[in-house]
Amino acid sequence: MADEAQRRLPRADARRNREKILAAAVHVFTTDGLDAHLERIAKEAGVGSATLYRNFPTREALIEATYRHEVAELCDAVPTLLATKPPFEALRAWTRLFLDYATAKYGMIDALRVIAAKGNNPYGNSREMIQAALNSLMDACATAATIRTDITSADVAAALEGIALTSAGPEQRQQAERLLDLTLGGLQARLVPRISD
């Protein structure tokens, strides 16, 4: 039984190759657009074209996997951020990762729409995953009393999406970070001065 389960798991080198391909795909699609040659992705990943096509037989399969990988990376970062930073700083760092994700998504949006139009769902439950990640961060911040409690994670998600929509291009990164700082500044808990009698 254990042998059968082990046979179904990809070998470590196969997993590493897949990860390298996905990382290269994000970079190439973001910089060169979706018409970039898949051979360029294979070369940047340090693998042969056959390895790329064995993992991702079509351009659409690679684009969908790349998008889902970016969502997973964004969400999987939360526990490490919370373990290594104070909650509000973890939230701040995560919003920068959100910009990276949004920039990658922006570079692939046309292809994702084409995939969706063909009846596939490249997004899966990405919205719910991202919302759950943001909820964890905001819950930690609320517990530490570093954010206002009258603003919901849905409000913050809407603000992040708005920033991403208007400033997700790589050339707009500085503006996006300023907008994030404005948003986070408004989210921070403020001490209300006591009025003396």
Angle at 38 between CA 34 and CA 41, to 5 degrees: 95
Residue 12 has a pLDDT of 83
Token pair recorded at residue 194: 């006591």
Nearest C-alpha neighbor of 62 from the set 46, 38, 43: 38
The CATH number of residue 16's host domain is 1.10.10
Q: Are residues 35 and 99 in the same domain?
A: no
Residue 9 has a pLDDT of 47
Q: Are residues 36 and 101 in the same domain?
A: no
Residue 140 has a pLDDT of 97
Report residues of the chain scoring pLDDT below 70.
1-10, 168-170, 191-197
Q: Are residues 146 and 94 in the same domain?
A: yes
Q: Domain range spanning residue 49?
A: 9-57
Q: Are residues 146 and 183 in the same domain?
A: yes
Q: What 8-state DSSP symbol labels residue 188?
A: B
Q: Are residues 75 and 20 in the same domain?
A: no
Q: Is residue 1 part of a domain?
A: no
Q: Are residues 70 and 51 in the same domain?
A: no
The residue among 17, 37, 57 that closes a domain is: 57
Q: How many domains does the chain have?
A: 2
Q: Are residues 130 and 74 in the same domain?
A: yes
Residue 189 has a pLDDT of 82
Residue 29 has a pLDDT of 81
